[in-house]
Amino acid sequence: RRLSESKFSNPHFYETIDVDMESAIAARKKLNEVSEVKISFNDIVVKAASAALRRHPDVNSSWLGDKIRKHGDVNVAVAVAIDEGLMTPVINHSDKKNLRQISVETKELAGKARDRKLQPEQMEGSTFTISNLGMFGIEEFTAIINPPNACILAVGAIRDVPVVKSGEVVPGKKMKVTLSSDHRIVDGAKAAQFLNTLRTMIENPLAMML
């Protein structure tokens, strides 16, 4: 019901950007060599999005009917597929957590979602949502905004593609992400600026640590 209301009452628009994943792949490999908790690509996206949200408060906002609320906290919801549909557990203060903390919390919340053990408070208070279908081989899609969030990020699969480097065509790794935005809150330029910051964070993993 909530998603139907969102789709038909919120003026959605969509912007897609292609992200070079080579540095993120290398960073993840090195992290997982020393980390007790395995870091996923989704964990990297959550961390990068959280850092980008801190820099773009308009994207980290909600529509309240007659006004816009810019949130002081960054609380990222992660869509989890279950037989009956989707659940969106929330990682609170995700911008203040490291990759290990995000990984542990995401795995725990996803497990509770699949076991139908999520508490209501674990699905409340999100300021942004991420939906990742890359593990299913989906290269690109658009997601419906999770109200009252201003935006939702749809994450596709990492693809093997030819890229041009130093004038030569070489093998590369790319990943498409699509931002669905509520035009009452976020305009096209602000969405594009957020996506460019997000891409910078993922393509330069050290940047999200700053």
Strands 128-132 and 151-165: parallel
Per-residue pLDDT of the chain (210 residues; tens, 9 = 90+): 766 676 667 789 999 999 999 999 999 999 999 989 999 999 999 999 999 999 999 999 998 878 899 999 999 999 998 887 789 999 999 999 999 999 999 999 999 999 989 999 999 999 999 999 999 999 999 999 988 899 999 999 999 999 988 899 999 999 999 999 999 999 999 999 999 999 999 999 988 876
pLDDT of residue 83: 80
Neighbours of 35 (CB within 10 A): 13
Indicate the burial class of 182 (C-beta count within 10 angstroms; 0-12, 13-18, 19 or more): buried
Q: Minimal CA–CA distance to 149: which of 40, 49, 4, 10? A: 10
Q: Minimal CA–CA distance to 191: which of 49, 75, 66? A: 49
Please state, in angstroms and rounded to a whole number, the distance separating the CA atoms of residues 99 and 78: 15
User: Whole-prediction pTM value?
Assistant: 0.93
Please state, in angstroms and rounded to a whole number, the distance separating the CA atoms of residues 74 and 149: 11
Q: Minimal CA–CA distance to 178: which of 189, 194, 163, 162? A: 194
pLDDT of residue 4: 64
Q: Minimal CA–CA distance to 138: which of 52, 79, 198, 202? A: 79
Question: Which H or E run includes 11?
Answer: none
Catalytic residues: 183, 187
